[in-house]
Structure 1
Amino acid sequence: MDMIEIDGSQGGGQLLRSALTLSLCTGIGFTIQDIRARRRRPGLMRQHLTAVNAAARVGSACTHGAELGATALRFEPGPVCAGEYQFATGSAGSATLVLQTVLPALWQADAPSRLRLEGGTHNPLAPSADFIADAYLPALAKMGVQASLQLQQHGFHPAGGGVMQVEVAPCAALQPRVFDARGALASMEAKVLMSGLPGDIGLRELQVLAEKLGVDPHPRHVHAVRPALGPGNVALVHVRHAEHVEVFSGHGERGVSAEQVGARLAGQVRQYLQGSGCVGEYLSDQLLLPMALAGAGAFTTRAISAHLASNARLIEKFLPVEFDWQPHDGGWRVTVSR
């Protein structure tokens, strides 16, 4: 079997997850050393191990070193099998990142699949379930992917306990897509999720968002999550343009006021609106892999993040594509070609 060697010290968990996805999609195995070497707690944490085990199940893979704390891993993929799967992180580790690891392989399968994922659904360092459902999957749909997400239970850090149901249909061939113009602003909506915390916190966050962005501050946009498995607070802003949708989130944390949470989130949204790029920072990174699988595509974005650059270099190890980015209208235009 062809094997690729990866230096895990050059990135975090995303580098590992991208390698797993690419291995499943190409049938090429890999070894990775010094996993998350520059992180405060190096090696495989529970959510990373869940992603490894999920990829191994979906792709009938053999693994060596798949255990908590491991800093080296060998992954040898087999055939990808459609079916019904259940994956649980056993903590507040992100269930959405586990989903993104296996989803491309499953849309390449020859039959539909259904997944039940348990863990964190709204984590500070991962895409939220709202982002997946309302930004990521709609972008993939424009490339031909048919997938849907149903959020059954919210899961916040540190309690976890979230549940998502995902269905994905086979996609014979991804269609190249260019995301270069977002079109006219159609609407902007905010909502705040509260779990086990006083509702006035959410009202204060919403008020700041109303003052800075002009969204509707009505209390109906503050949602109490029940059952409350633990404390949690997330403010979300959906920005809908004629041709594109982005979802931004801000997370409450101990020692940070509701006003600060709202102001930080409003700053993210205004930075996006003031730029000319179609795709936001987080979605830009996540579109690289499906575009590479399609063999072509392009998008405009405000900035080239370190995540985007490292992800592009990794993808080029597995697939016969090249990424390029050039300054464009105050931001960047990213293209992929064979």
Structure 2
Amino acid sequence: MITIDGSEGEGGGQVLRYAAALSLLTGEPFTIENIRGGRAKPGLMRQHVTALEAACTIGDAKCSGLAVGSSSLSFQPGRVKPGNYNFAIGTAGSTSLVLQTVLMPLLLANGPSHLVIEGGTHAMAAPPFEFMQKALLPILSRMGPKVSIQLERHGFFPRGGGRIVVEIEPSALRSIECLERGAFMQGRVEAVLAGIPRDIAERELTAARKVLSEWPDDAFTIRQLPGEHGPGNALLVEAEFENITEVVSSFGKLGVPAEKLAKSAARSMAGYLALEAFAGPYLQDQLLLPFALAKGGAFTTVRQSEHTRTAAKLIERFTGIKFRFSDQGKRTKLVEIVG
């Protein structure tokens, strides 16, 4: 039984999601105290409960203390079962984060799976649908499994109501090296709107153009969704290279000027473009678990994040597998499996 202090490291829901996935993969039970102890509102939120309920469902697991607001729980894994599953968060909680909890166990299951997850698809503090579709899942498919994902309906905070559909064809994971992102192909900036004035999107694109001034005018577009999908606003900044697509996002928030959120996303992308790393700051921790399960491989990335440090420590506790982070030029790291 592994005991985890949920306030250590990143101190948020990532600890819980990684622990559940690792428990299903290794058969090692765990207890966690001080859940989300590093957050202003600690304890389980609705999306965390759904993520653990999903883990219990696919893995025939038993979990005590699983309730909104709970600060501790115990998780006893069972055998992972592929199949058809539908998970509804009931709020704008992130569908991507629920998917991350069950994805790796189902990638190594003994049959295909079909998932429907309902909730938020574009909300703060979580990767949007496009990040999963264009940045993470293509890399996993290169490692052997086949994963496809569709967005059937957008879901913004606070309403939610989004819906994604995921098809998983499992396979053993083979090690790969992701050292170079290759030549730059194209950049895109898309302002997505639902139920709010169009001029907000126009202001966002104007601000983003000032930062990404070398990108052509036709790279900046507006996507107007039906009003009943909102209210909501997302800005998606994508850079497509030969070997990777980086996705940076920001989301509209009451009281925050459109120009400010657009500049933040565009500057993050400009920072990534200025380096030569393969994985950006949001992808790096997502690659650790599949690379560890493949028992090999390497990738280059930007400066180590707290999410990455936390994930690496959890993976080592459950599997014994360690990572080496070494300098690889200016502000670039090489991440390798070392044992």
Superposition TM-score tier, normalisation by shorter sequence: over 0.9
Residues 17-66 of structure 1 show CA distances to partners (whole Å, capped at 9, x for unaligned) of: 00000011111111111111231111111010001100000000011111
Contact 1:189 1:216 in 2 (8 A): no
Is 126-135 or 246-255 further displaced after alignment? 246-255
1:210 maps to what in 2?
A: 209
Counterpart Cα distance in 1 of 2:270 and 2:284 = 17
3-state secondary structure, aligned to 2:111: coil
Counterpart Cα distance in 2 of 1:244 and 1:72 = 38
Counterpart Cα distance in 2 of 1:59 and 1:278 = 33
**Matching residue's letter, 1:142:** R
Counterpart Cα distance in 1 of 2:310 and 2:99 = 21
Deviation at 1:208, TM superposition (A): 2.4
1:6 maps to what in 2?
A: 4
User: What TM-score, normalized by structure 2, do the two folds share?
Assistant: 0.96
1:179 maps to what in 2?
A: 178
Contact 1:84 1:115 in 2 (8 A): yes
The number of aligned residues is 335
Matches within 5 A, 1:118-133: 118-133=118-133
Counterpart Cα distance in 1 of 2:220 and 2:188 = 12
Deviation at 1:198, TM superposition (A): 0.6
3-state secondary structure, aligned to 2:255: coil
Matches within 5 A, 1:188-337: 188-213=187-212, 214-218=214-218, 221-330=221-330, 331-337=332-338
Deviation at 1:321, TM superposition (A): 1.0
Is 237-246 or 256-265 further displaced after alignment? 256-265
**Matching residue's letter, 2:3:** E
3-state secondary structure, aligned to 2:68: coil
Counterpart Cα distance in 1 of 2:220 and 2:165 = 26
Deviation at 1:211, TM superposition (A): 3.2
Deviation at 1:220, TM superposition (A): 8.2
Q: Percent identity?
A: 44
3-state secondary structure, aligned to 1:224: strand
Counterpart Cα distance in 1 of 2:200 and 2:181 = 33
Deviation at 1:337, TM superposition (A): 2.7
1:75 maps to what in 2?
A: 75
Unaligned runs of 5+ in 2: none
Matches within 5 A, 1:74-113: 74-113=74-113
Contact 2:153 2:229 in 1 (8 A): no
Counterpart Cα distance in 2 of 1:215 and 1:198 = 25
Residues 139-176 of structure 1 show CA distances to partners (whole Å, capped at 9, x for unaligned) of: 111211200110000001111000000000121x1011
Cα-Cα RMSD: 1.4
**Runs (4+) off by over 3 Å:** 214-220
3-state secondary structure, aligned to 1:9: coil
Residues 76-118 of structure 1 show CA distances to partners (whole Å, capped at 9, x for unaligned) of: 1111001000101110011110001001111111111000000
